[in-house]
Amino acid sequence: FGDLGSRIQRHESRRAPEFEGYGTSQKEIDDDDARWIYINDPVKTNQKYEFTGNSIRTSKYSFISFIPRNLFEQFHRIAYIYFLVIAILNQLPQLAVFGRGASILPLAIVLFVSAIKDAYEDLRRHRGDRIENNRLALVLVNGRFQEKKWKYIQVGEIIKVPSNQSLPCDIVLLSTSDPTGVAYVQTINLDGESNLKTRYAKQETLMKNPEKENISGIIKCEKPNRNIYGFQANMEIDGKKMSLGPSNIILRGCELKNTKWAIGVAVYAGQETKAMLNSSGAPSKRSCLETRMNREIILLSLFLIALCTVVSALFGVWLVNHKDELNDLPYYRKEDYSEPGEVDSYNYYGVGLEIFFTFLMAVIVFQIMIPISLYISMELVRVGQAYFMVGDGQMYDEASHAKFQCRALNINEDLGQIKYVFSDKTGTLTENKMEFECASICGVDYSTGTSRKLSDQASYSVRVDDQICRPKMKLKVDTELEVLAKGGTGTNEGEHIHNFFLALAACNTIVPIVTDTDDPTVKLIDYQGESPDEQALVYSAAAYGFMLIERTSGHIVIDVQGEKQRFDVLGLHEFDSDRKRMSVILGFPDKTVKVFVKGADTTMFGIINSSLNRDVITATKAHLHKYSSIGLRTLVIGMRELSGPEFEQWQSSYEAASTALMGRAAKLRHVASNIEKNIQILGASAIEDKLQEGVPEAIESLRVAGIKVWVLTGDKQETAISIGYSSKLLTNEMKQIVINGSSKDMCRRRLQEALTMARNRKAMTGGAPNNDETSRDDPSLLALIIDGTSLVYILDSELEEEVFLLACECAVVLCCRVAPLQKAGVVSLIKNRTDDMTLAIGDGANDVSMIQVADVGVGISGQEGRQAVMASDFAVGQFRFLVPLLLVHGHWNYQRMGNMILYNFYRNAVWVLLLFWYTLYTAYSLTTAVTEWSSMLYSVIYTSIPTIVVGILDKDLSRRTLLSYPQLYGAGQREECYNSKLFWVTMADTVWQSAVVFFIPLAAYWKTTVDGSALGDLWTLAAVVMVNLHLAMDVIRWNWIMHTTIWGSIVATFMCVIAIDAVPVLPGYWAVFHAMGNSAFWLCMIGVPVVGMIPRFVVKYVSHYFCPGDIQIAREAEKYNEEGSWITEGSVVEMSRISSPPLAR
């Protein structure tokens, strides 16, 4: 093995299988599906294929396309098309009810406000694009690196990137400042991960200097795709053909670290870079409340058609009854006698067409039955709600400086109706900050001995170039194990311990970064890597005297008990989700070659030679079970020495697989599997991933609120159960149902047995539910625990229904060993069978699928990057922030939005019925006493601003009450603020109030000489006063803004009516002034609201005092508490049952 150190091989398969759907990285590249790049020849490269430039554009509009495209997007709303059709109909002479300008005004205002908002957002994108495109990079031009703006970079150009600079495009590495060709990059701008990653230049291009010699060659790579973890290409330089993988490409947005410079060739630019292809947002979701609102809009549409049909039918009857008088009737004449001696005919089309035209005119007059302003009001309210959620200091994580993020404005109110929470474990319930706890080595459990916190001692530090280097993190060490680790390899036990910690220090992709301290003679080594588990293991190895101090692509340097040893890295098979393990092949100073393997126990025991050390294997399995039972994360460690022929066979196999043109990834995995066999077990490690602060309390609050919490994790069953106990999700009194079948028949049998048992227990306890007010310590509660293998047979089969019914009988569900797609399948299991709202929360890329499938997706800004955050609707810093998000803001948002929607229906229906009553007294002619301007401005200006302000600011209960009594969250789950019953009650109240507004002034002025315009002004003002007082009656917490908008709207309406009547050219000139001079006007202004509000006041009084709900009870408790009465610490307020088990669709 004399020259093995110079032949560096790497096996790249990290995470690829989870992302195969994004591109063709795991498939052979056909010539038709490949792009050919001529190195240092951008003209030839782009001449044939016309690749995009490096200019990016995140904006949606241009100056020319803004108006047509924005209008096109806005008219995706059916309601806007409806109002456009109404406005067009009003332009026809036969149907002109309102003035042409007035009929267009409401729609124009709504479109204008939305366009202004969209234009402002897009202008910010344009500014960001301009800054990004004008950044400078060093590009090889005429044999010298010269500065060029990013937007002018082309595919095929050679680029030089200095340290701490961002990559302008996706480049294949040619050389770096490191003689071994390694480059360290930070991908925080791409996926949010702050740990350093290693990338490598090929050995064949390392020594080439583009400024001194001409570099030419061809790269054949896959077409642009979204897979940021995969890349497949071949490169040919100087007649040598070599393969390229994910470790040879650096993506746009990454930042070069700890490397003076790196040189590469641009392969993807601009919109074709992987970063830009992944910049699309999460799938659009629609609010459940808005979806149900559409049902009422359909009912209102049918009611509108009914009104128009009644008016047109009655008009037809009137025409038939007065057919002999139509020529001479003063307000409906068929003939025109205005010119002396001439009789002209008006446009009369016969009874049939007149009825049809009347129907269309009625649609125009009653058009606001469909509330056009509701949509823009909902958008503005959601923006206001998001502002206060983002600014909530109680959802700010000081440790990570992460603020709450509202990434989807259209589902705020869904936060108040959640019934199921699906949570990841690692990084979501736990901190994902791993700490080495104990180990099992050679069958000996080192978890029961004494331990101590390692201080600044010589054993914890090494001397490098007259400087002391010590690890950045300090750990507890087992004193017995520490002594044995220092004892050397003289005994069998000592040799096993030596190899065990050597494996922890070497079998990883950790990069040691040396950082300065206040003492110039002392340096800290910060271990950077993609996996927190690997970091914890390397820190633990350092604590026991095996300190990794240097890593390159070809070798590593480990200080072993004060002696620096260099090991050649001959091969590295990184972790992938198929093998669930990784291995490294090391060349030792004594010329021996060994392979070290670590991985999950489920795969490791399959490759361990069971004929060796059977007692050790048995003991290790027992220790693994013990560690998992107390919630520790475990890995199994093994090794074996390779003979010369074995290594040479592996090396030739790897070289053949890495240059294969067909099925390269599968062949590489096969090579890895061949070398990872007949392994001798060294031991097992146990790492603690502590619970996040406040998780048990948060889960308890969610449970009391009637929310079911399901945990979906990839960890072992024992680990998941342990975390369930520590997080108070499970209790000792709960009966556990475990489903871990190895076949479909076994799963079916166990599901049927469990379902029978669950129903029997339910019958014995009198049908007590398992999901709401039942005490958490009630022995009747059930917990379902199911593993990923069972889910393989259950999901997408007839067993789904059985597991759904069983889950509905259980208070807790834990899913172990689940894959990312299985997580999404479990969410769909509930989502597709119930109307209950689902929420998924996670922090890693493996949680993205379930986050996007759930009704509401929440990402955690954690240790595993920002993939979950980027795919989510909302983002928080800690799991515990779900409590204020759902119980406080979710409750407020749902209550406000539900009330606002009903109020919009009510106020518009009052106006339409007012016009309808008037039509009955005017021969169904659809003439209106109300001015056309007031009719158009009623729902846009007169009454819209107060409902928006109340929708943003009103609070039915305080934060303290909502957090103290989580049961109050059940109001949203029971749809107490918006349901069919409330809709019909509101419509009944609307009929009464509209009749009061119309008939009281009509009776007051009956048989008087008042003109129609004056009466129309009275009706307008009375209606506006009525609907604003109606809103004021529902306001719970008043402030000066609400007072200003509600009473200010009434004042503004008076001013507008006066201004309209003061214009001589408009109908009704000076009418309002004549009306105000009469005492009857002011008596009506007082009497109409009083009489109109009496039924509503009586109903509210009776319901609140004789059959109050939870909200009313809590509100009264708050009131008495403010007055210093009986609510004291520890008082109990009895609440209603939260909910019942979900009903299948």
Backbone φ and ψ for 981, nearest 5 degrees, come out as -60, -45
* Cβ contacts of 105 within 8 Å, gap of 6 or more: 936, 937, 940
Q: How far is CA 391 from the centre of its chain?
A: 19
* Rounded CA separation 316/314 (Å): 5
Identify each DSSP E strand in 672-731 by its residue range: 680-691, 708-712
Helices (H), 557-677: 601-604, 614-629, 644-658, 664-675
Q: Is 392 left (phi over 0), alpha (psi -120 to 50) or beta?
A: beta
* Rounded CA separation 720/726 (Å): 10
| Per-residue H/E/C for 127-144 | HHHHHHHCCEEEEEECCE
Going from the C-alpha of 55 to that of each of 135, 153, 734, 953, the distances in angstroms are: 11, 8, 60, 43
Given 424, 601, 689, 836, which residue is catalytic?
424
Nearest to 217 by CA among 209, 205, 207: 205
* Rounded CA separation 146/123 (Å): 32
Start-to-end CA distance of the chain, whole Å, equals 68
Q: How far is CA 400 from the centre of its chain?
A: 19
Nearest to 163 by CA among 263, 257, 253, 265: 257
* Rounded CA separation 872/861 (Å): 11
Q: How far is CA 311 from the centre of its chain?
A: 49
CA angle (1050, 1052, 1055) in 5-degree steps: 115
Concatenated DSSP letters of 488-509: -SSSHHHHHHHHHHHHHHHSS-
Nearest to 222 by CA among 231, 214, 213: 231
**Collapsed DSSP state (helix, strand, coil) of residue 295:** helix
Residue type for position 151: K
* Rounded CA separation 1145/234 (Å): 53
β-pairing, 555-560 with 546-551? antiparallel
Radius of gyration, alpha carbons of the chain: 37
Q: Decide: 512 and 548 in contact? Cβ < 8 Å.
A: yes
* Rounded CA separation 266/278 (Å): 18
DSSP label of 11: B
* Rounded CA separation 456/472 (Å): 11
- Kindly tell me the burial class for residue 904, based on how many C-beta atoms sit within 10 Å of its own C-beta (0-12, 13-18, 19 or more): buried
Indicate if 324 belongs to the active site: no
* Cβ contacts of 186 within 8 Å, gap of 6 or more: 194, 195, 196, 197, 254, 255, 257
**Collapsed DSSP state (helix, strand, coil) of residue 309:** helix
β-pairing, 522-528 with 467-471? parallel
Two tokens, residue 154: 């082309």
Place of tokens 């890597």: 529
Going from the C-alpha of 932 to that of each of 12, 96, 100, 109, 357, the distances in angstroms are: 72, 11, 10, 16, 19
Which residues are the active-site residues? 424
